Every structure is written in structure tokens, then in C-alpha cells.
């Protein structure tokens, strides 16, 4: 682990792992911010670079990506945008698998990230060797992996999908009579299996942020806000999904919040998403879904510790010094691009919109 990891206070004293994950904040002091933003804007131009950000990163980074001709969106749009954009350097403000997907699609470009240690519990829970052995044990299954995986896991797959396209891809495979190995998110896999009736073997990974949403507490909150619509990301447990009015990727639930004829929403996903929701619909009320059960002595914050590793300070540093470049073994990259490209081609075929909100 890097040196600048510092312990931070958590409600639960035993939460050492979460404390270890939390790194020193990469946000500048307020008075330094305008100058730092101006410097990053200059560097992006000088380095022929475009900033591609996820909705879960700090609002400053989301706003900066849009203000400089980059984009903020979900994993599918991020992959597609970096691929289409002419810039020779793609800076990914998100987590490692997002940077790797950009590199897989653009081996000739330079891909930088503010922090290369920004991983994902789904990626960590699906080691390539174990996954490959699992696939070898089921040779008659089509292998579909979620974007939240390493390049080596993607290289073992037939398809890569993101949450915004998983459902149509699996429907399509089922119509062709194919049986599916799904990895790594068990909740998303279970949801897709229920929606499609496909024959699916599920890897048992989960997102440590979405796993924390609690159905009992959500039902109680819903009762207090009877007019609120419940928006849920499908990495959440089945009992939480069962209470949703809309289930979808980050982009899909933001669109739902914009379009729905409602003034109140309960949102079950990383709370970084609220910045975009509130910006697009300032007159609406957005409430975070509960993450602690009754009697719990630990309340998780509903914010991905790895997304939180991205900030203005380390973004400026990587642009200045070219640190933190993503490298992928070329042989793995050549194999991994096949399932990723298959997804992008399929998205075009079914006319799935692949431009984030506010970037159209």
C-alpha cells in the first residue's frame, strides 16, 4: 500500500480495513482551488488529454470533466467516450477497472489515473486464476463478466457487460439457447437471472458499498415518504431491489430522477451520484437510502473508498509528471479487447444511448 494511507475515524472501532483503505484527502484548501483548477485546465490542453470521470468521484472532478470537454458518466459511456475521443491521453477519474478498460480499447493511447490503487471489491473478489479454473470446469457455458474485473479476467471472457447493458446481452444469449457463467457480482447476476430466466452460474462477489443497503430500514423510510420513488443500483441485495421503483445503472437512475413525475426520491447507490441528480433537478428532494440495520453500531457511509482516492491534487500531479500510467500485458490486452468490443458493437446494434447525461 502507498505511504499516504492514513487511518480515519469510523463509527465502528473494529473497522480497520475500511480505515486502511481511506487515503489522505486529495482536495486542496478552498483558497487554492481556483488556481489548481486553472492549472489542470492548462495541463489538459498541453498534454492533449481528456478527463473522463465517474458519477461517484468528487463533484469538483465531475464538474471539471464536463467543463473541459470530457465527460462524467457510467462505466459503459466512459469506455465508449475515451475510445471515440481524439485526445492522445485519457485521464480516468474512477477506479482501476475503468482505466484498464480504456487502455484495453486504446492500446496506442496513454491512460493515466490519479491513483492506481483505486480498486473495487468486485475486482478483488475475482482472481484471474481461480476464475479461469471455474470456467475450465464448465466448458459448455458462455462467459459473461462485469466491467468491474481485471484485464486478465476479461481476457478469459466471451462478453464484458456493464450494468446498463447486462440485461439485453443476457436476454440475447438466452434467446440463442446459451448457458451463462456470470461474474463477479452475485446480486446483479441474481437480478439478471430473475429478469431473463437464463440458466446462469453465479460467481459470489459483491460490492462492499451496495451490500450495505438494508431492506427493513428502506421500507421504514419509504413509509415516512410515501410519495418518494425508490431508485436502486442492481449491485444492491435482492431484498433492496424488491423495493425499487426503478432499477438501473447510474446513468439510468439519474435519467429516471430527471424524467419521473415525482418530487422526492430515495437513492440506493453511492452518494457521489447525488451531485448530478441535484444539479439536474434542483427543485427535487433526494434522500440517501439507509445503510445500517436496527441496533447496528457501524454506519457505513455509502461512498466507495476507492472512488474517494481521486482528487484535484493528485489529478494535477499525474498530469504534471505523467505518473500512474496504466500498462497492460499486450497479449492479455489483445484477448481482453474482444469481449469489450463485442459489448460496444452490441450497444450500437440495439441503439443503446452511449453518451452520458449532460454530455449529449
Binding site for ligand 13P (CB under 6 A): 74-75, 148, 162-163, 207, 235, 249-250
How near is the Cβ of 28 to ligand 13P at its closest, in Å?
26
Q: Which is nearer to ligand SF4, 165 or 207 (CB)?
A: 207
121 binds, options ligand 13P, ligand SF4, none, Cβ within 5 to 8 A by partner type? ligand SF4
250 binds, options ligand SF4, ligand 13P, none, Cβ within 5 to 8 A by partner type? ligand 13P
Q: Which is nearer to ligand 13P, 60 or 77 (CB)?
A: 77
How near is the Cβ of 1 to ligand 13P at its closest, in Å?
21
Q: Which is nearer to ligand SF4, 87 or 99 (CB)?
A: 99
The 202-241 site mask, x for binding ligand SF4 (CB under 6 A), equals -----xxx-------------------------x------
Residue 121 near ligand SF4 by CB under 6 A: yes
What is the 3-state secondary structure of the chain? CCCCECCCCCCCCCCHHHHHHCECCCCCCHHHHHHHHHHHHHHHHHCCEEEEEECCCCHHHHHHHHHCCCEEECHHHHHHHHHHCCCCEEEEECCHHHHHHHHHHCCCCEEECCCCCCCCHHHHCCCHHHHHHHHHCCCCCEEEEECCCCHHHHCCCCEEECCCCHHHHHHHHHHCCCCEEEECEHHHHHHHHHHHCCCEEECCECCCCHHHCCHHHHHHHHHHCCCCEEEECCCCCHHHHCCCCEECCHHHHHHHHHHCCCCEEEEECCHHHHHHHHHHCCCCEEEECCCCCCCCCCCCCCCCCCHHHCCHHHHHHHHHHCCCECCCCHHHHHHHHHHHHHHHHHHHHCCCCCCCCCCC
* The binder of ligand SF4 chosen from 230, 304, 328, 340 (CB under 6 A): 304
Residues binding ligand SF4 (CB under 6 A): 95, 120-122, 148, 207-209, 235, 270, 304, 306-307
Amino acid at each position: 500500500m502507498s505511504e499516504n494511507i492514513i487511518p480515519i475515524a469510523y463509527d465502528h472501532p473494529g473497522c480497520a480495513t475500511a480505515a486502511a483503505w481511506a487515503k489522505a484527502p486529495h482536495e486542496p484548501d478552498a483558497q487554492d482551488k481556483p488556481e489548481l483548477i486553472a492549472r489542470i485546465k492548462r495541463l489538459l490542453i498541453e498534454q492533449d488529454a481528456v478527463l473522463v470521470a465517474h458519477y461517484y468521484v468528487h463533484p469538483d472532478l465531475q464538474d471539471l470533466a464536463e467543463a473541459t470537454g470530457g465527460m462524467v458518466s457510467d462505466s459503459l459511456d466512459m469506455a465508449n467516450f475515451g475510445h471515440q475521443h481524439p485526445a492522445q491521453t485519457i485521464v480516468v477519474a474512477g477506479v482501476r477497472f475503468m482505466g484498464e478498460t480504456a487502455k484495453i480499447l486504446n492500446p496506442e493511447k496513454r491512460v493515466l489515473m490519479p491513483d492506481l490503487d483505486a480498486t473495487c471489491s468486485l475486482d478483488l473478489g475475482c482472481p484471474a486464476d481461480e476464475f479461469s479454473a471455474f470456467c475450465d470446469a464448465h466448458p459448455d457455458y458462455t462467459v459473461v463478466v462485469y466491467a468491474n474485473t481485471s484485464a486478465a479476467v476479461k481476457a478469459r471472457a466471451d462478453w464484458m457487460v456493464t450494468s446498463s447493458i447486462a440485461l439485453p446481452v443476457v436476454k440475447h444469449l438466452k434467446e440463442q439457447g446459451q448457458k451463462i457463467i456470470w461474474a463477479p457480482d452475485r446480486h446483479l447476476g441474481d437480478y439478471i437471472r430473475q429478469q431473463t430466466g437464463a440458466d446462469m452460474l453465479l460467481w459470489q462477489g459483491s460490492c462492499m458499498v451496495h451490500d450495505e443497503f438494508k431492506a427493513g430500514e428502506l421500507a421504514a423510510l419509504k413509509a415516512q415518504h410515501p410519495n418518494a420513488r425508490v431508485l436502486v443500483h442492481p449491485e444492491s441485495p435482492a431484498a433492496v431491489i424488491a423495493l425499487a421503483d426503478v432499477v438501473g445503472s447510474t446513468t439510468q437512475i439519474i435519467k429516471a430522477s430527471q424524467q419521473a413525475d415525482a418530487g422526492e426520491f430515495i437513492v440506493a447507490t453511492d452518494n457521489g451520484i447525488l451531485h448530478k441528480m441535484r444539479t439536474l433537478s434542483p427543485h427535487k428532494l433526494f434522500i440517501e437510502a439507509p445503510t445500517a440495520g436496527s441496533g447496528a453500531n457501524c454506519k457505513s457511509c455509502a461512498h466507495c473508498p476507492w472512488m474517494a482516492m481521486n482528487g484535484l491534487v493528485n489529478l494535477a500531479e499525474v498530469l504534471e509528471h505523467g505518473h500512474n500510467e496504466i500498462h497492460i500485458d499486450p497479449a492479455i490486452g489483445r484477448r481482453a479487447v474482444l469481449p469489450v468490443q463485442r459489448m460496444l458493437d452490441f450497444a450500437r446494434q440495439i441503439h443503446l444511448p452511449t453518451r452520458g447525461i449532460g454530455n449529449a
